[in-house]
Amino acid sequence: MRYKVKLNKTKTGYAIWCPALPGCWTLGETEEEALENIKEAIKTYLENFDEVTQNAELRYVDVR
């Protein structure tokens, strides 16, 4: 599957995250390393999603 990721150059390397998967992010010293790291982060996220969320309760909040 293909996911859009966002890459941001920082003072120490690159931050990268997947907007479609909240909380799925990682770092890399180079752009290439960051891209490889996010692939692993996405795989891990998807493998563990059901386990992590199985007992979660749904809530709504109002933001004004």
- Tell me the Ramachandran region of residue 23: left when phi exceeds 0, alpha when psi lies from -120 to 50, beta otherwise: left
The answer to whether position 1 is within a domain reads no
Mean pLDDT is lowest, of 33-37, 38-42, 43-47, 50-54, for 50-54
The answer to whether position 63 is within a domain reads no
The answer to whether position 44 is within a domain reads yes
Domain that holds residue 48: 6-53
| pLDDT bucket at 46, cuts 50 / 70 / 90 | very high
pTM check: above 0.75: yes
Whole-angstrom distance, CA of residue 18 vs CA of residue 4: 6
CB-based contact 58:36 (threshold 8 Å): no
The answer to whether position 20 is within a domain reads yes
Confidence (pLDDT) at 6: 98
Number of domains in the chain: 1
The answer to whether position 62 is within a domain reads no
Element spanning 6, H or E: strand 6-9
The answer to whether position 33 is within a domain reads yes
Q: What DSSP line would sit under 10-39, residue for residue?
A: -SSSEEEE-TTSTT-EEEESSHHHHHHHHH
Confidence (pLDDT) at 54: 86
